[in-house]
């Protein structure tokens, strides 16, 4: 059987901030432990061993990928798809069709979300068609959660579901003092993550017991490709609701893990409901602290994670219920259970290795 030599295409990669970049880096490490070689093509600013960069994801990208794949003898091209990370460029969506014809190698696409690219105003259905066509023309498709799996299956694509893993290491010390006057929010502060609902809910708590809101991680920059709320807007909202606010800024992974593990509680009230595509949710659950999040849109979509004792679920958009859950979580004394081994990078790496080898098949000789 031929050994996988993978060319990853990703809009994000360390030291650039972003969950997809962290995911790709950790996946590469897991694959390297199995003997699989890989290189990366990422946006300008990325770096590290085997990493090449591009300044733009424009229509010349297919030629660039073709040349890099041939130069590195890659026999698998694996696209880590998230439209916003590629600047909403539709050039990424046509890569599977172009590369399978030019390179004649399998093209795998992992859909980190199903957001379509930007084409032109009022493109609506055409944008969705372009995204689905990318899935249909990929040799294999990976999704990270049951919701996305369900949507693609309904549209004639049979994906393989492989979960994302925790992108932070375990806390470095089990003997730590818990800051029970602190609620942590992890990741970019965006509208879809419910940062504004969280500020309003904390503002409802009696001023004598009102906890500090700690924003853990980089602020990120608002743009047309995301829904990050600016630092100035968050400050103004916190002042309006009389919520004390602190920011850690970017932290190395171990430091971020330690901060989460000492927080009184972690709150991630996703507007659309929690999903297993949310790396910040998994990192919070792995910290051992109570995690408050919103019910998924479809019951059962959190699978076995929903039964973890450290998880507290509230209705989407219900600020009053969120307020009550925060107060309960800050006094929570129940223990936490670890995530299942399926969310570990060893298991995730093995699943990818099996897929790659099934696509490569036996040697040609």
pLDDT, tens only, 313-341 = 999 999 999 999 999 999 887 778 999 99
335-348 pLDDT, tens digit per residue, is: 789 999 999 999 99
CA 101 to chain centre: 30
Point out which residues pair with 186 in neighbouring strands. 216
The tens digit of pLDDT for each residue in 103-118 reads 889 999 999 988 866 5
Q: Is the pLDDT of residue 268 over 90?
A: yes
From the list 161, 133, 188, the residue with the least C-alpha distance to 12 is 188
The helix or strand, by DSSP H or E, that contains position 128, with its residue range, turns out to be helix 124-137
Q: How many CB atoms lie within 10 A of CB 116?
A: 21
In this structure, of 87-96, 141-150, 252-261, 303-312, the range with the lowest mean pLDDT score is 87-96
Alpha carbons 4 and 279: distance in angstroms, whole number:
26
Report percent pLDDT > 90 for the chain: 82
How confident is the model at residue 129, as a pLDDT? 79
Domains annotated on the chain, with CATH? 5-165+344-360 (3.40.50.2000), 179-339 (3.40.50.2000)
Pairwise CA distance, residues 359 & 139, whole Å: 8
Backbone angles phi, psi at 278, to 5 degrees: -90, 100
Q: What pLDDT is stored for residue 221 in this prediction?
A: 85
Position with higher pLDDT, 162 vs 172 = 162
């Amino acid at each position: 059987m031929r050994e996988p030599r993978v060319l990853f295409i990703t809009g994000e990669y360390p030291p650039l901030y972003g969950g997809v970049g962290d995911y790709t880096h950790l996946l590469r490490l897991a694959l390297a432990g199995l003997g699989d070689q890989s290189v990366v093509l990422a946006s300008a600013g990325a770096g590290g061993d085997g990493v090449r960069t591009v300044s733009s994801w424009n229509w010349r990208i297919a030629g660039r990928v073709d040349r890099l794949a041939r130069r590195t003898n890659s026999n698998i091209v694996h696209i880590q798809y998230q439209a916003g990370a590629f600047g909403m460029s539709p050039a990424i969506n046509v890569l599977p069709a172009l590369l399978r014809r030019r390179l004649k190698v399998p093209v795998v696409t992992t859909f980190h979300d199903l957001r379509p690219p930007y084409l032109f105003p009022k493109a609506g259905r055409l944008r969705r068609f372009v995204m689905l066509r990318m899935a249909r023309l990929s040799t294999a498709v990976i999704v990270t959660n049951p919701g996305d799996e369900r949507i693609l299956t309904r549209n004639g694509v049979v994906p393989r579901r492989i979960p994302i893993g925790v992108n932070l290491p375990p806390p470095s010390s089990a003997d730590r003092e818990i800051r029970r006057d602190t609620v942590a929010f992890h990741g970019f502060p965006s509208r879809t993550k419910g940062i504004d609902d969280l500020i309003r809910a904390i503002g409802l708590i009696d001023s004598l017991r009102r906890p500090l809101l700690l924003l853990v991680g980089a602020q990120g920059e608002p743009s047309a490709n995301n829904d990050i709320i600016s630092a100035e807007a968050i400050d103004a909202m916190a002042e309006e609701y009389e919520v004390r606010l602190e920011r850690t800024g970017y932290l190395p992974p171990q430091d971020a893990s330690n901060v989460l593990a000492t927080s009184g509680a972690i709150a991630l009230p996703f507007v659309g409901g929690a999903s297993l595509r949310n790396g910040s949710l998994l990192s919070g659950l792995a910290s051992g602290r109570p995690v408050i999040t919103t019910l998924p849109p479809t019951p059962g979509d959190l699978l076995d994670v929903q039964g973890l004792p450290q998880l507290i679920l509230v209705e989407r958009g219900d600020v009053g219920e969120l307020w009550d859950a925060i107060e309960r979580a800050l006094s929570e004394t129940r223990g936490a259970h670890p995530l299942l081994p399926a969310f570990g990078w060893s298991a995730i790496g093995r699943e990818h290795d099996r897929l790659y080898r099934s696509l490569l098949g036996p040697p040609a000789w």
